[in-house]
């Protein structure tokens, strides 16, 4: 009954699922989280939530939780060990690996699920104290193409816009984003905005998703043809005089080169390549170019591609050409998948980064970090480490001999999974920290129990650069510990105790924020204490180094009262000064000269795209353990067009096998004209823990973008057959 679970208190925190970063209030009773509701004061969601966080109480307090360190036994299975033994063994193995094989033989694979402090501790230990460059994150599979796109165009990572801008945009282009299912609260904003009849929505997606249903112009392009479309749209903008000449002339460079490529793409030519109507391309370009304010929102459909970086640049080109940057209601805006992938980027969680958007390759950047950490010059490796795919390949080839996986599940989520699974199983030493048993912990030598959401405090940054606090509400079960504490514990075992002697995650944050001073993601004006009052968008410096601009009535006098009173920065580049050497934003030529990395043919005639469904998250580690969220969910499925079903001999509702050159999985066929004839779609949620039929990623491949090194998870060549056909 309601009464029985009525919370004793409510505390503010932040949803740990997607990058919308909604504020929640958690109801706590008797040392347990019993209820979740939206935080009306949080600017990401104003009280709204999608269904996922409602399942948190069940997930956090689930009996499956890992509660003690576990060591693989020689005869199989796991046995309990103490933290002292576990940390001692990690320290010993890590030390021996580096001593015998060099620092490149060790690797850390972390996660956008970690809090900023966790990420920071891992990076400091690996880069600073062990000389290990191989620290990469599952954000490599998610946002690295956007990172490269922003860096190329603006000289720095960081989405320039805010969710609030959606409320002022006259045209909203959703590109490769099923916002309705994957960022539902942001979609709610779009729906609300769309009540104004002057507002138009463009949706670019090979699949007619729930998002496409609200489109004024829907462009169901063939997978891999985004660049042809973007060039043709730019050409229409040029031909019809919709270029913001003043903005382009004063604040950008490289326009001619980009335009030259765009001119190769008449709408008719692009229409043939993309498989859409030329009039629709023209219509979309006109709407985008004619609108006083236009935004382009995108996510995995753009990023998870072997041309992901160019696709990001092409979308940014459209925003630049039409002057839709640095103004209210405008901007290119990548919608981050994970809750703290943004924080991970800020803190140096990708293989080429150091804290504060510094580059590991840049000597000055390394010296600054070495100085701050009080370590010898030259301690930090000077070359980027191995990105995710390369790291697992190196593990398989025996070049990486020690791998530490934290808060992510590569044995379900990596592409070309057969190869990754084998590499993990054969790894000389695999340590996995997680709150739950996963496909990856099953392959570990040592499993370290991590505190889950609600059991540790720390910061997360959402897609709009807004830093929010995640609160510790209850004690972790058994001996589970916060990830930053686990990394610090190993550091102590290895003799670096002094540098890792933080008493709380707030102290970790204070150390980290000093490393952002004067950098682009400046968070020196942010502390845990401040975040408890309200979340803040960076840059939020603790002193005024340059002219600050008021926003919506927040005068600068408000924050001048106190050094932690910076109101935050809702949008970047309002002064049209970009972080490039010239201060100008850069166009890029974005030729469409390759389609998907893997071509379809007679044996594998269909293109497999993978993605998420509304109420599940990633590999179901938490959402799969909530009865609330799994209700009505009947296991893996694959969507395909009636024509594809017909030629494959597959019947709606029956089990089908999806086969690629690398592997296969079994899923229930859902025959629907939401799909294009040549494509199939399958959610990647179900790994080996949840299904015996194989994982979706058994079929995907790991070809990747040459710049971002993000794999093309949405483009495997497959065939579909009835089960039992072999």
Chain residues that interact with ligand SF4, rule: CB under 6 A: 15, 17-18, 20-22, 45, 49-50, 52-53, 183-185
Q: 10 Å Cβ neighbour count for 197?
A: 6
Shortest distance, position 449 Cβ to ligand SF4, whole Å: 24
Q: Which is nearer to ligand SF4, 17 or 500 (CB)?
A: 17
Nearer to ligand SF4, 50 or 107 (CB): 50
**Closest approach of ligand SF4 to the CB of residue 17, in Å:** 3
Secondary element (H or E) of residue 28: strand 23-29
Q: Which is nearer to ligand SF4, 50 or 446 (CB)?
A: 50
Beta carbon of residue 374, minimum distance to ligand SF4 (angstroms, whole number): 37
E-strand ranges in 548-629 read 585-586, 606-611
Strand partners, 110: 137
Q: Which is nearer to ligand SF4, 161 or 225 (CB)?
A: 161
Residue with tokens 């490289």: 254
Closer Cβ to ligand SF4, 51 or 518, answer by number:
51
Rank residues 17 and 681 by Cβ distance to ligand SF4 and give the closer one. 17
Kindly list the strands in the beta sheet with 466-470, ordered across the sheet, starting from the edge strand earlier in the chain: 458-461, 466-470, 536-537
Pairing of strands 171-175, 294-298: parallel
For the CB of residue 530, give the shortest distance to ligand SF4 in the complex, in Å: 21
Q: Contact, 112 vs 364, CB < 8 A?
A: no
**Nearer to ligand SF4 (CB atom), residue 393 or residue 614:** 614
CA angle 33, 38, 43 (to 5 degrees): 130
Strand-pairing partners, residue 296, are 173, 332
Q: Which is nearer to ligand SF4, 21 or 477 (CB)?
A: 21
C-beta of 466 vs 566, nearer to ligand SF4? 466
Q: E strands within 143-264?
A: 171-175, 200-204, 217-219, 252-253
Cβ-based nearer residue to ligand SF4, 48 or 235: 48
Measured from the Cβ of residue 686, the count of other Cβ atoms closer than 10 Å reads 24
Closest distance of CB 44 from ligand SF4, Å: 7
Q: In whole angstroms, how close is the CB of 120 to ligand SF4 at the nearest point?
A: 22
Q: Which of 61, 164, 101 is nearest to 570 (CA)?
A: 164
User: Which residue in 688, 672, 676, 684 sits closest to 636, CA to CA?
Assistant: 684
- Alpha carbon distance 315, 307 (integer Å): 12
Please report how close the Cβ of residue 719 comes to ligand SF4 at its closest, in angstroms.
Answer: 34
Report in angstroms how near the CB of residue 41 gets to ligand SF4 at its nearest.
Answer: 15
Smallest gap from Cβ 58 to ligand SF4, in A, equals 15
Torsion, Cα 138 631 207 201, to 10 degrees, reads -90
Q: Which is nearer to ligand SF4, 183 or 657 (CB)?
A: 183
Tokens of 705: 């973008």
Q: Which is nearer to ligand SF4, 183 or 352 (CB)?
A: 183
Which CB, 53 or 112, lies closer to ligand SF4?
53
- SS3 of residue 449 by DSSP: strand
Q: Give whichever of 50 and 608 is closer to ligand SF4, judged by the CB atom.
A: 50
How many Å separate Cα 168 from the centre of its chain?
Answer: 25
d(CA 346, CA 522): 9
What does DSSP say about strands 536-537 and 466-470: parallel, antiparallel, or unpaired? antiparallel
Which H or E element spans position 370?
Answer: helix 363-373
Least distance to ligand SF4, CB of residue 184, Å: 5
Considering the complex, state which of residue 185 and residue 588 has its C-beta at the smaller distance from ligand SF4.
185
Q: Nearest approach, Cβ of 51 to ligand SF4 (angstroms)? A: 8
Residue corresponding to tokens 């036994």? 73
H or E element at residue 2: helix 2-5
> 654 Cβ partners below 8 Å, 6+ apart?
668, 669, 722, 723
Helix%, strand%, coil% for the chain, nearest 5: 35, 20, 45
Q: Tell me the closest approach of the beta carbon of residue 172 to ligand SF4, in angstroms.
A: 17
What radius of gyration do the chain's Cα atoms show?
24
**Omega before 539 cis (within 30°)?**
yes
Nearest approach, Cβ of residue 188 and ligand SF4 (Å): 9
Closest CA to 338 of 515, 183, 162: 183
- Report d(CA 436, CA 406) in Å as an integer: 11
In the bound state with ligand SF4, the residue whose beta carbon lies nearer, of 45 and 145, is: 45
Neighbour tally for 655: CB within 10 Å: 18
Q: Count CB neighbours of 674 within 10 A.
A: 17
The least distance separating ligand SF4 from the CB of residue 19, rounded to whole angstroms, comes to 7
CA angle 366, 334, 517 (to 5 degrees): 30
CB of 309 to ligand SF4, least distance (A): 26
Minimal distance, residue 337 CB to ligand SF4, in Å:
10
252, β-bridge pairs: 585
Long-range contacts of 359-367 (CB under 8 A, 24+ apart): 360/127, 360/133, 360/384, 360/385
Q: How far is CA 329 from CA 182, 261, 342, 553, in A?
A: 22, 28, 22, 17
């Amino acid at each position: 009954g309601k009464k029985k679970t009525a919370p004793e208190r409510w505390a503010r925190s932040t949803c740990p699922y997607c990058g919308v970063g909604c504020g929640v209030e958690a109801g706590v009773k008797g040392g347990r989280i019993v209820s979740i509701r939206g935080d009306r004061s949080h600017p990401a969601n104003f009280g709204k939530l999608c269904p996922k966080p409602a399942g948190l109480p069940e997930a956090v307090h689930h009996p499956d939780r890992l509660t003690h360190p576990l060591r693989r036994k020689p005869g199989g299975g796991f046995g309990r060990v103490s933290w002292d033994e576990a940390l001692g063994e990690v320290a010993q193995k890590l030390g021996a690996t580096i001593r015998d094989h060099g620092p490149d033989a060790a690797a850390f694979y972390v996660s956008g699920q970690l809090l900023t402090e966790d990420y920071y501790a891992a990076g400091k230990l690996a880069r600073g104290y062990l000389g290990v460059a191989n620290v990469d994150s599952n954000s490599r599979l998610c946002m690295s193409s956007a990172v490269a796109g922003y860096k190329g165009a603006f000289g720095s990572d960081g989405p320039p816009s805010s969710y609030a801008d959606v409320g002022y945009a006259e045209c909203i282009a959703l590109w490769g984003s099923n916002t309705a299912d994957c960022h539902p609260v942001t979609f709610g904003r779009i729906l609300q905005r769309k009540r104004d009849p002057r507002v138009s929505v463009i949706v670019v997606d090979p699949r007619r998703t729930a998002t496409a249903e609200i489109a004024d112009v829907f462009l169901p392009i063939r997978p891999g043809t985004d660049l042809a479309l973007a060039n043709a749209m730019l050409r229409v903008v040029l031909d019809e005089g919709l270029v913001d000449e003043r903005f382009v002339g004063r604040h950008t460079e490289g326009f001619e080169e980009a335009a030259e490529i765009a001119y190769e793409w008449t709408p008719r030519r692009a229409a043939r390549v993309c498989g859409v109507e030329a009039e629709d391309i023209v219509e979309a370009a006109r709407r985008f170019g004619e609108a006083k304010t236009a935004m382009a929102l995108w996510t995995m459909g753009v990023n998870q591609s072997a041309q992901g970086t160019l696709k990001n640049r092409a979308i940014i080109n459209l925003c630049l050409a039409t002057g839709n940057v640095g103004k209210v209601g405008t901007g290119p805006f990548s919608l981050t998948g994970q809750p703290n992938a943004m924080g991970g980027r800020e803190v140096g969680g990708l293989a080429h980064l150091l804290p504060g958007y510094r580059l590991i390759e840049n000597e000055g950047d390394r010296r600054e970090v070495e100085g701050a950490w009080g370590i010898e010059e030259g301690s930090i490796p000077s070359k980027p480490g191995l990105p995710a795919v390369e790291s697992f390949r190196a593990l398989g080839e025996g070049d990486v001999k020690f791998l530490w996986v934290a808060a992510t599940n590569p044995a379900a989520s990596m592409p070309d999974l057969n190869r990754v699974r084998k590499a993990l199983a054969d790894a000389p030493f695999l340590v996995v920290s997680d709150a739950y048993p996963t496909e990856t912990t099953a392959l570990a030598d040592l499993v370290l129990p991590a505190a889950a959401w609600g059991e540790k405090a720390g910061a997360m940054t959402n897609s709009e650069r807004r830093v929010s606090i995640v609160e510790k509400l209850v004690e972790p079960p058994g001996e589970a510990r916060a990830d930053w504490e686990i990394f610090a514990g190993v550091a102590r075992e290895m003799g670096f105790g002094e540098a890792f002697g933080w008493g709380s995650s707030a102290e970790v944050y204070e150390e980290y924020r000093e490393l952002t001073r004067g950098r682009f993601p400046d968070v020196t004006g942010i502390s845990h204490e401040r975040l408890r009052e309200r979340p803040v968008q960076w840059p939020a410096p603790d002193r005024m180094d340059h002219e600050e601009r008021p926003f919506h009535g927040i005068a600068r006098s408000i924050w001048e009262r106190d050094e932690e009173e910076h109101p935050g920065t809702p949008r970047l580049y309002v002064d049209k000064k970009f972080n490039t050497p010239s201060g100008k934003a850069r166009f890029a030529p974005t030729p469409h000269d390759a389609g998907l990395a893997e071509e379809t043919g007679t044996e594998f005639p269909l293109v497999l795209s993978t993605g998420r469904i509304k109420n599940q998250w990633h590999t179901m580690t938490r959402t799969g353990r909530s009865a609330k969220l799994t209700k009505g969910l009947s296991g893996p499925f694959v969507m395909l067009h009636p024509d594809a079903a017909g030629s494959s001999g597959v019947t709606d509702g029956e089990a089908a096998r999806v086969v690629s050159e690398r592997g296969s999985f079994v899923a229930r066929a859902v025959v629907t004209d939401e799909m294009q004839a040549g494509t199939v779609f399958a959610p990647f949620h179900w790994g080996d823990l949840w299904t015996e039929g194989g994982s979706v990623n058994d079929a995907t491949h790991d070809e990747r973008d040459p710049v971002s090194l993000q794999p093309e998870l949405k483009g495997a060549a497959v065939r579909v057959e009835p089960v039992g056909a072999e």
